[in-house]
Amino acid sequence: MASELAKSQLSVTIVDNIEHLKGTHAGYRRAHARGVCYDATFTPTGDAGPLTTAAHLRGEPVSATVRFSHTDTNPHVPDGDRAVRGFATKFHLPDGTNTDLIMVNLDRFVASTPESFLELLHAAEPDPATGAPNLDNIKAHVGAHPEAGPGLAAAAVVGIPVSYAATTYWAIHAFFWRDADGAARPVKYRWEPDLDPANAEDTSGWSAEHLAEELAERLKSGPVGFRLIVQLGEEGDNTDDSTQVWPAERTEIVAGHLSITGEAADQEYWHNQVFDPTLLTPGIEASDDPVLAARSTIYAVSYDRRVHKR
Ligand code: HEM
């Protein structure tokens, strides 16, 4: 109970510090503020069936709702800026429940614990003289937390995709799949686009919401798709540090295909929903990654503030 309380307090402190650093935009998510939701259908290949009892990964196709987003807290930041993009999926399961899978177009995170993420927010405080982050403070943070270096370096050069449908997304954390015999194995997910991944060379002609407009136009000629690729972890692969990736030679399976068909009819409804990476279903379990555990309460704090129009 005491540790649950400490976790909630840390989550409140993190959201307070995001607001302090980036400002508050009443009614919007405290990260990934601008996004558009889409209707989709997920069709499992059957290859995951022997490895997990999760209904959507072994049975019939299920409907899903997808949200593509810009990572910023400010919903008006233009799409032409270099930034991480989000891809959240809510699978609507045959028994009427949902399970969420949340990804970004980066393969690793910038902190291995919520505490070190909070320290990173402090290090990113703007210098009062220049109004920009003080690079020496960021370097000092990476000196104290070398595991943050690769994720920060990757985020600094992340490409600007020509389309939400033309980039790869990773869920970053490990999860556990449990099979019908009760055996568990660690897995990591990514969405690979059916389109060839491509980054924009010049975004000067882009409107602020170019990526949503581009996808609306593209969907007029038919669905866009992604394959759900699942990396199977092996003995010794870490499951508790989202700054680390597993070796590329790990066995992978294609668990299914997502077909995105058009914009969801009720954007206001979906704006007010939450996609929670710990909303799982029997056959899928959270790993021991402390960032994954913290996200649930952090998102609940953000949700509570935005639905109250703060
Ligand atoms: C300590 C670490 C993190 C913090 C403090 C954080 C913070 C947040 C917050 C406050 C929101 C808005 C929640 C809401 O109001 O519904 C959010 C959304 C989101 N986060 Fe994180 N996050 C963290 C880690 C991650 C990681 C590791 C990923 C990588 C998959 C990620 C991907 C996303 C995405 C894609 C969304 C948008 C979800 C949607 O469309 O509703 N976050 N995050």
Domains of the chain by start residue, with CATH: 33-114+147-287 (2.40.180.10)
The DSSP call for residue 87 is: E
The pair of structure tokens assigned to 149 is 């270096």
Neighbours of 187 (CB within 10 A): 25
| Cα 115 to ligand 1 centre (Å) | 16
State residue 298's pLDDT score.
98
Q: Is the CB of 254 under 6 A from ligand 1?
A: no
Phi, psi of 117 (to 5 degrees): -65, -40
Q: Is 204 exposed, middle or buried (0-12, 13-18, 19+ CB in 10 A)?
A: exposed
Could you give the 3-state DSSP secondary structure of residue 229? Answer: strand
State residue 133's pLDDT score.
87
Residue with tokens 């899903």: 64
32 catalytic? Reply is yes
pLDDT mean for each 10 residues of the chain (310 residues):
78 98 96 98 98 97 98 97 98 98 98 98 92 93 98 97 98 98 98 98 97 98 98 97 98 98 98 98 98 97 96
Q: Find the catalytic residue in 32, 56, 70, 173.
A: 32
Q: Is the CB of 88 under 6 A from ligand 1?
A: yes
| Cα 113 to ligand 1 centre (Å) | 14
Q: Is the CB of 279 under 6 A from ligand 1?
A: no
Q: Is the CB of 66 under 6 A from ligand 1?
A: no
State residue 2's pLDDT score.
56
State residue 1's pLDDT score.
52
d(CA 31, CA 21) in angstroms, rounded, equals: 12
Contact 9, 115 (CB under 8 A): no
Neighbours of 202 (CB within 10 A): 8
Task: Kindly give the number of the ligand 1 atom that is closest to the alpha carbon of 106.
Answer: 29
253-258-261 Cα angle (round to 5): 165
The pair of structure tokens assigned to 163 is 């389309």
Q: How far is CA 234 from CA 53, 73, 179, in A?
A: 20, 37, 16
Shortest CA distance to 169 belongs to which of 247, 239, 110, 88?
88
The residue whose C-alpha atom lies closest to atom 27 belonging to ligand 1 is: 109
Cα 89 to chain centroid distance, Å, stands at 9
Neighbours of 287 (CB within 10 A): 20
Task: Kindly give the number of the ligand 1 atom that is closest to the alpha carbon of 11.
Answer: 5
Neighbours of 290 (CB within 10 A): 19
Count Cβ neighbours within 10 Å for each residue of 62-94 and write b for 16 or more, e otherwise.
bebbbbbbbbbbebeeebbeebbbbbbbbbbbe
The pair of structure tokens assigned to 150 is 């690769």
